Each structure stands twice: as C-alpha cells, then as structure tokens.
Structure 1
Amino acid sequence: MHILMIECNPNGIAGIANALDLGHDVTLVSVDPDFYLAASPLAEAAYAHPNCQVVKSAQAFFIDELTALARKLHSEKPIHGVTTYSEYHTVHTAAVAEALGLPGMSVDGARNARHKHLTRLTLDGKGVRQPRFVHVADPKDVEAAVREIGFPCVVKPSDGTASLHVLHLKDEEDLRAYLAELADVADYGRGVVRVPDLLIEEFVTGELISVESCVLGKGEVVNLGLTDRPLSGFPYFIEMGATYFSGHPLQDELFDLTTRLLNELGVDFGFIHTEFLLGPDGPVLCEVNGRLVGGIVPSLMELSSGVDPYLEVIRQALGERPELPRPGETTAGGRWFGAPIGGTVESIGFDGLKELPGFHSALAYKKPGTEVNRLSKSNFDWIGHTIFTGADRTEVNKRCVEALDRIDLRMKVEVAR
C-alpha cells in the first residue's frame, strides 16, 4: 500500500519507519526534509529505504498546490492513504484525502479543531464549559479585547502549537511586549504561514489534562485514556512531562465532554488529542488537536497498551479499523528537560538513570556543539526526555521527577565581563 505523509513531526518519523518495515511505500512531502534528518535519529535510515520517496516542495502548506501535487503523485503510483502527525497540516491532510476520495476527517471538522477561534465559536452556547474569550481577527483590536476580558488573561495565536506564543498577561506592559514580539512573526518555520487571528481568554487555574481518543466514524468516538501534563511556571506554558493512564476521578465526565464536543465540531475521523483545565468549577476546554498526541506520549501509549499508535494512524488512513491503545496494567510516563541557561551543549549523559527502578529510555535531542536557548518560552526549548514505567501514575511521576537530578548536562556558557 502507498501512504502519502504530509509533513510529519520528529517523533512521527518512527511511524514512517514502522510502515516501511511492514512493506508499505511511503511518500513524505515536506518543505524542509532536512529538518527531520537533524531532529530524528530514524530519519536517515527511513529516507534511504527503497520504499521511501521524499518530495521537497515549497508549496506544501498551500492547499491548492498541495492537492495538485498529490494528484500528480497519485497518477504516478496510486495512493491508498493520506495522513500526517503534524498539527500544522491537519486541514491540508483532510483536503487532500477528500480530493483523492480516501478516508479522512471532514475538512470542516479539521478546520474547526485546527483553528482555536473556530473551536471556541462553534462550541459557544453548546453546553461545553470554556473560558470567557474574545476572538481578535485584527491585531489592532487586541487591546480592546484584553480590556473586555481583564487582567490576568491568556493570549494565544489561533493556529499555534507546542505552546508557541502562548502567554499569561498580567498587565499592560506584558501586553505591549507581547504585541511587539508577535508583530515580527510572519510564520512558524518550514513554510507554515501564520494567520492573524488571536484569542484573548480568561485565565483559568487548574491541572492540565488531556483525553486521547480515536474517532472511527461520524458519531463513533472512542475515548482511550488520559494524559497528565505538568507545566512550567509563568508567563509561558511549557509542557514538562506526561503520564498516560486511566482511572482519574473525573474520567467519566471528561470522556463524556470529549464525545459531545468532537461531535459538535464535526470531527469524524482519526486519533484526537483534547486538552482540559480542571478548574474550580469543573473541566474547562483548553483546545482540540485533530491528530495523534505529540511528543513522547505515543511511546507511552505503546508501553502501556502494547499497541503502536503511530502505526494505527496509518492503518486507519488506509481504511482499516485501528487497534486501540488503551492504558494497560503498566503505566508509563516521562519528563522533558531543557537548559537552565543559554549556551553550547558539550554532552548530555544518562548513565545515572539506567539503574533506577522503572527506567525505560532517555534521549538527547541536541548533539554536542549545538547552541541552545534557556528553557523559557515553548516546547521547542526541550533538549531531551526520559521515560519510566511503574504500577500507577503516582509511582511513575515520582520516578520521573527523581531522575531529573541524575541527568549529566554539560554546557559551555559565555560569561559576560
């Protein structure tokens, strides 16, 4: 079978590698294929595989041009499934699948999940608890929106991901600095053009938790499990860890909410990642991501369930009924880490972790000689992760936190004189 992968993400290269191992043909369309070579240790071997075709296209983010390219590729070698692991390309994937008559999410559903202001507006008044919000289509209206919501508030781009440019604003000074910084951001890199829409939202306190689901068809939502998501401190919202589990006291309520809101949004296909804040009055919808959860979480899902969700995404795109990675008896979790100060990485060592109970794996994202920023603004500041298993969420989280002190991070730092 021939799979068209529209962009990817660094961890998702594992899905491409697994599909190739099973004998599938994979065509990866990317604005910058070299990005994955630098970000994933699996990319070089995947690219060299005889069944892998890598197509570099500067137009991969423009739906009409991408669809034309997909039709051309389809005429050369029939495509049997279209998918992505990239948040930025979920609408593109839905549009191409529709154009080729292949399984996929409805374009409207993908758009409602992808653009945060459409999520908010579509669900407004539908019985789903959301923060008070104002949708801003023109940056000149931001100040009025902030006055309507009041400080403290949260500002976020409608089409962002990985907590990039999401900020807690406490006063006018924060707002001015944010707008000045965002004015210089025309794109997110790799050809992804930023839309001007922003959301100004009420600041809701509470634990961040996500529901991992698979929508098998219109109205058929299967909620699989939960992922806790500890965050860094203000003013940014950097995810610093994740544990995949079941059994939360609010699980039934969260599952019911997820089913209702996905149906309201028209999300009718695929693995879905839905985030909630557990506010003082109950769960509050944070956002909906119309794709498989990112980062290390698919690996945690496989450790707990024995099912590889990357591969199930591909199987579903090929029209097969996916096997569902529900949490099992083993609980798996991990922590990301970054640099406490900007500088150049000399080495990242994990020898101190390998004998700890429940240790599964650790990975450094940055090679020696790489310059890195201080962990400060978004998930893109991560420089590595660790993964542990245990009997339950409490044990796994304890092991993950204790392991952070055992990481041997050595850096060269320029000292101002």
Structure 2
Amino acid sequence: MHILMIECNPNGMAGIANALELGHDVTLVSVDPDFYLAVSPLTKGNYDHPNCTVVKSDDAFAIDTLLDLAKGIHANNPIDGVTTYSEYHTVHTATVADALGLPGMSVDGALNSRHKHRTRLALDGGSVLQPRFVHVTDPSEVEAAVREIGLPCVLKPSDGTAGLHVVHIRSEEDLKRYLDDLSHVADYGRGVVRIPDILVEEFVEGELISVESCVLQGGEVVNLGLTDRPLSGFPHFIEMGATYFRGHPLQEQLFAATTSVLEQLGVDFGFIHTEFLLSENGPVLCEVNGRLIGGFCPELMKISSGVDPYLEVIRQALGEKPELPFPGEVTAGGHWFGSPVAGVLRSIDFTEVENQPGYHSALAYKKPGTAISRLSKSNFDWLGHVIFTGTDRDNANKRCEAALDHIDMRLSVEVAK
C-alpha cells in the first residue's frame, strides 16, 4: 500500500521506517527534506530505500499547491493513506485525505485543534474549564487585551507549537519585548507561515499533564494514558521531561474532559494529545494537538505497552483498526537536556548514563561542530534526551533526573574579553 507523509518530525522518521519494513510505499512531501537528514539519526536508510520517494516542494505548506501535488502523486501511484506526525501539517493532512476520499480527521476538527483561538472560542462558556482569554488578530490590540486579562498573563501565537513564542508576561517591559520579538517572526521555518492571531490568557498555576487518546474511525474516543510534563522556569515554558502512566487521582476526570473536548471540537479521527493544567479549581484545558504526541513520548508508550504508536498511526491512516498502546506494568520516563550557555558542541558522551539502574536509551540531537544556543526559549533548544524505566512514575522520574548528572557534554565557548 502507498502512504503519503506530509512533512514529519525528527522522531517520526521511525514511523516511515516502520511502513517501509512492512513493504509499503512511502512518499514524503517536504519543503526541506535535508532538515531531517541533519537532525534525525533515524533518517538514515529511509531516503535511499527503494520504496521511499522524497518530494521536495517549496510551496508544500500552501494547501492548494499541496492538493495539486497530492493528486498528481495519486494519479501515478494511488495513495491508500495520508498522515503526518507534524503539528504544523495536521490541517493539510485532513484536507488531502478528504479530497482523496481516504480516512482522516474532519477538516473542521483539524482547524479547531490546530488553531488555539478556535479551540478557545468553540469551547467558550461550556463545561470544560479554560483560562480567561482574549483573542486578537492585530498586534495593536494586544496591550488592551493584556489590561483586560491582567498581569501576570500568558501570550502565545495561535498556531505555534513546542512552546515557541509562548511567554509569561509580568510587566509592561516584558510585553514590549515580546511584541518586538514576535514582529520579526513571519514564519516558523520550513515554509510554515505564521498567522497573525494571538491569544492573551490568564496565567493558571498548576502541573501540566496530557491525555493521550485515539479517536477510532466512527468517532469513538479511547483515552489511553497520561503523560506528565515538568516545565522549566519562566518566562518561557520549556518541557523538560515526560512519563507515560496510568493511575493519577484525577485520571477519570481528565479522561471525561478530554472526551468532551474532542467531541465538541469535531476531532473525530487519529491519535490526539490534549494538555491540561491541574489548577486548584480542577483541570483547565491548555491546548489540543490533533496528532500523536511528539518528542520521545511515543517511545515511552511503546516501552510501557509493547505497541508502537508510530506504526499504529500508519495502520489507522490505511483504514485498519489500530492496536492501542495502553500503559502496562513497566513505567517509562525520559528527560531532555540542553546547554547552560551558547557555544559549539564538541561531544556528548552517555557512557556513565548507560551504567545507571533502569537505563533504556539516550540520544544526542546535534552533531559535534554544531553551534548551539542556551536552553532558554522553547523545546527547539533541546540537545538530547535520556530514557529510563521504573516501577512507577516517581521511580522512573528520579532515575532520569539522577542520570542527567552523568552526561559528559563538552562545548567550546567564546569568553568575553
């Protein structure tokens, strides 16, 4: 069978490898295919596979262009399934699947989950708790919106991802700095054009936790498990770790809220990642992502359940009923790491990490000789991760945190004179 992958993400290259191993044809459409070669060791062996076709298109983010491209590919080699692991391309995937009559999320559901202002507006006044918010479409409206919400507050682009340009605002100076920085951001790279919509939201204190779900063909929501998401300090919100598990005291409340959210938004197909803040008033919806959770988290799901969610995304896109990765007896967790300073990466050595109890794997994202930034603004500042197993959530987390002290990372840093 033939899979059309509309962009991907670095870890999602594992899904392409899965499809090729099963004997499927894969066509990857990307604005910048070389990006994956540079950032993902998993790309090796995919691009030169006889069943893999890589199509470079500078305009692939433009939906009309993508539709024409997909129809041309379909005419030459009929497409049996369309999917993506990329947050930026969930609407594109839904649109192409709809145009070709293939399994996929409704386009409205994809839009409602992709654009954060649409999520907020669709659920406003309903039973699911959300932060107080103001949706603005012009930067000139932001200051008035901040005054309405009050300080501190959170500002975020409606179409961002990975914590990029999501900032905790505490003062007028913070606001001016943020608006100046955002005014220079026309796109997110790889042809992804930023829309002007911005959300100004009430700052909600509480642990960040996500519900991982799968919406089966026909719309049945199956809530699989929970992923905790410890964050770095302000003003940015960088995810620093994750553990995939079941058994949280608020689990059933979180599952019920997720089902309600997805049904109200029209999110009717696929693996879904829904984030909540656990406030003193109960779970408050943070955002909905209409795709499989990112980072190393699908690997945590596979370790715990024995089911590879990357592969199940492929199978579901082909019209098969996916096997569902419910958390098992083993709890898997991981932590990301970055650099405390900017410089040039010389080496990352995990030898001592590999000797620690519960070690599963470790991965560096950058090659020696690469210029790196300080871990400060978003998940894109990560340099790598470690993954450990444990008897429960706390045990796995403690093992991950302890392992960070055993990473041998060497940099060249320019010293100011």
Q: Shorter chain as normaliser: what TM range?
A: over 0.9
Aligned mates of 1:42, 1:163 — CA distance in 2: 24
Pairing 1:8-23 to 2, within 5 Å after superposition: 8-23=8-23
Pairing 1:374-389 to 2, within 5 Å after superposition: 374-389=374-389
Aligned mates of 2:185, 2:386 — CA distance in 1: 32
Counterpart position of 1:33:
33
Aligned mates of 1:380, 1:82 — CA distance in 2: 26
TM-score normalized by the length of structure 2: 1.00
Is 1:302 aligned to 2:323, yes or no? no
Deviation at 1:217? 3.1
Deviation at 1:164? 0.1
Aligned mates of 1:255, 1:44 — CA distance in 2: 38
Counterpart position of 1:7:
7
Counterpart position of 2:142:
142
Aligned mates of 1:219, 1:93 — CA distance in 2: 18
Deviation at 1:125? 1.2
Question: What do the CA deviations read for 1:270-297 (whole angstroms, capped 9, x no partner)?
Answer: 0000000000100000000000000000
The 8 Å contact of residues 207 and 279 in structure 1, kept in 2 or not, is answered as yes
Matched to 1:382, the amino acid is W
Question: What do the CA deviations read for 1:295-326 (whole angstroms, capped 9, x no partner)?
Answer: 00000000000000000000000000000000
Counterpart position of 1:395:
395
Compute the RMSD of aligned alpha carbons. 0.5
Partner SS for 2:141? helix
Matched to 2:252, the amino acid is D
Gaps of 5+ in 2: none
The 8 Å contact of residues 218 and 267 in structure 1, kept in 2 or not, is answered as no
- Shift >6 Å, 4+ stretches: none
Counterpart position of 1:371:
371
Counterpart position of 1:331:
331
Question: What do the CA deviations read for 1:347-371 (whole angstroms, capped 9, x no partner)?
Answer: 1011111111100000011111111
Is 1:360 aligned to 2:345, yes or no? no
Is 1:113 aligned to 2:109, yes or no? no
Counterpart position of 1:235:
235
Gaps of 5+ in 1: none
Pairing 1:135-214 to 2, within 5 Å after superposition: 135-214=135-214
The 8 Å contact of residues 276 and 283 in structure 1, kept in 2 or not, is answered as yes
Matched to 2:99, the amino acid is A
How high is the sequence identity, in percent, across the aligned residues? Answer: 75
Question: What do the CA deviations read for 1:186-230 (whole angstroms, capped 9, x no partner)?
Answer: 000000000000000000000000000000034410000000000
Partner SS for 1:165? coil
Is 1:277 aligned to 2:277, yes or no? yes
Matched to 2:81, the amino acid is G
The 8 Å contact of residues 348 and 407 in structure 1, kept in 2 or not, is answered as yes
The 8 Å contact of residues 214 and 222 in structure 2, kept in 1 or not, is answered as yes
TM-score normalized by the length of structure 1: 1.00
Aligned mates of 1:142, 1:353 — CA distance in 2: 46
Aligned mates of 1:19, 1:51 — CA distance in 2: 10
Pairing 1:35-184 to 2, within 5 Å after superposition: 35-184=35-184
Aligned mates of 1:334, 1:116 — CA distance in 2: 27
Aligned mates of 1:68, 1:246 — CA distance in 2: 44
The 8 Å contact of residues 218 and 263 in structure 1, kept in 2 or not, is answered as no
Question: How many residues are treated as equivalent by the alignment?
Answer: 417
